[in-house]
Amino acid sequence: RTNVILDCDPGHDDAISIILANSSDKIYIEAITTVAGNVEVEKTTLNAQRICDLLQLKNIPIAMGAERPLVKQSEIAKEIHGDSGLDGPQFPDEPVKKVENIHAADLIIEKVLHSDKPITLVPTGPLTNIALAMIKEPKIVTNIKEIVLMGGGTFGNWTPAAEFNIYVDAEAAKVVFESGVPITMFGLDITHQAQATDSIIEDLATIKNPVAETVVELLNYFKHTYQEYFGFEGAPIHDACTIAYLIEPSIFEFKHVNVAIETKGEYAYGMTCVDLLCVTGQDPNVHFAHVIDQNKFWNLLKRSLSSY
Ligand code: BDR
Ligand code: CA
């Protein structure tokens, strides 16, 4: 079993990532921590509460984290995730699940230092909370088992060079990528290949239970915005690649490479400079996912949704 903290900004694909994680006996969710990203942190937190209610998760702590990036101003992605951050399905107004009275960064520190089992961090939003935790308590760095994240790539979706999660808080990403913790990275190169097209969504719609039905509603909304905004055929379920890997590592293949974060560029701020040809001579710090077995990925999601 892998003990994880899901640090997220739900977010359609973040929500699906939580749903996938919860369905697997290979994963134990220690906590869900939230960060400003797709929408403001109050809203990403509310969305985490809503997903916990949908899954009837009573015992997993939720802690709210950073409301803005370390250095620059906030930037959100309403165009993609709607005003609520989770537009599409109807959720009850008032969540039952409560939020803990502790900052996300402090909960991460506490869990990493004091849990019986080593903790894997799974960030699927901007890396602000993880960087804050590392800055506040540097001792955590040697205790984190692995960081399995969605972010970056060899091209961008927010600027030509930068992917949203890294762009929003590139200074935080720099802290994390230079921390020395083993990083497994799912960037756009791979997540764009986990694209839920009409035929995939139709197939998932044959599963009849409230969780699967909510996921189909999420995917329909997400597909629509990806079509409108990017001209894509379907919706990439970026964030769920992280959990798919932890459940079934053979879905992906990796290259061990150096990845540096651009924080000064005029055009390339927030770029992940992936040294695929080893031209820098720098030590590898990242396992960079570069191949996905799509059949295995969709089969896993289908099995997961059927289990509810
Ligand atoms: C990332 O940005 C967000 O919109 C998604 O949730 C994902 O984490 C993709 O660039
Ligand atoms: Ca996300």
Q: Are strands 144-150 and 119-123 parallel, antiparallel or unpaired?
A: parallel
The residue-averaged pLDDT of 230-239 equals 97
Average model confidence (pLDDT) across the chain: 97
Q: What is the pLDDT of residues 87-100, one digit of tens each?
A: 999 999 899 999 99
Residue 235 alpha carbon to ligand 1 centre in Å: 11
The whole-angstrom separation of Cα 254 and Cα 280 is: 19
Contact between residue 195 and residue 232 where contact means Cβ atoms under 8 Å apart: yes
Q: Residue 118's pLDDT is what?
A: 97
What ligand is nearest to the CA atom of residue 156? 1
Q: What is the pLDDT of residues 21-36, one digit of tens each?
A: 999 999 999 999 999 9
Ligand 1: which residues within 6 Å by Cβ? 11, 13-14, 38, 77, 80, 124-125, 150, 157, 163-165, 238-239
Q: Are strands 286-292 and 183-186 parallel, antiparallel or unpaired?
A: parallel
287 assigned to active site: no
The residue-averaged pLDDT of 292-303 equals 98
Q: Residue 151's pLDDT is what?
A: 98
Q: Residue 40's pLDDT is what?
A: 98
Q: How far is CA 92 from the centre of its chain?
A: 24
Q: Residue 37's pLDDT is what?
A: 97
Spell out a b/e string for 120-146, using b for 16 or more CB atoms within 10 Å of the CB, else e.
Answer: bbbbbbbbbbbbbbbeebeebeebbbb
The residue-averaged pLDDT of 257-266 equals 96
Q: Residue 146's pLDDT is what?
A: 98
Q: Residue 138's pLDDT is what?
A: 98
Closest C-alpha among 82, 88, 101, 4 to residue 44:
82
pLDDT band at residue 120 using 50, 70 and 90 as cut-offs = very high
Q: Residue 32's pLDDT is what?
A: 98
Residues, CB within 5 angstroms of ligand 2 (ion):
9, 11, 14, 124-125, 239
Q: How far is CA 287 from the centre of its chain?
A: 16
Q: Residue 148's pLDDT is what?
A: 99
Residue 270 alpha carbon to ligand 1 centre in Å: 14
Q: Residue 54's pLDDT is what?
A: 98
Which of the following is catalytic: 81, 103, 238, 287?
238
Q: Residue 22's pLDDT is what?
A: 98
Q: Which residue has the tokens 């293949």?
A: 253
Q: What is the pLDDT of residues 124-150, one digit of tens each?
A: 999 999 999 999 999 999 999 999 999
Residues near 195 by beta carbon (within 8 Å), at least 6 away in sequence: 232, 233, 234, 235, 236, 237
What HEC string does the chain produce? CEEEEEEECCCHHHHHHHHHHHCCCCEEEEEEEECCCCCCHHHHHHHHHHHHHHCCCCCCCEEECCCCCCCCCCCCCHHHHCCCCCCCCCCCCCCCCCCCCCCHHHHHHHHHHHCCCCEEEEECCCCHHHHHHHHHCHHHHHCEEEEEEECCCCCCCCCCCCCHHHHHCHHHHHHHHCCCCCEEEECHHHHCCCEECHHHHHHHCCCCCHHHHHHHHHHHHHHHHHHHHHCCCCEECCCHHHHHHHHCHHHEEEEEECEEECCCCCCCCCCEEECCCCCCCCCCCEEEEEEECHHHHHHHHHHHHHCC
What ligand is nearest to the CA atom of residue 77? 1
Question: Model's pTM, two decimal places?
Answer: 0.98
The fraction of the chain above a pLDDT of 90, given in percent, is 99
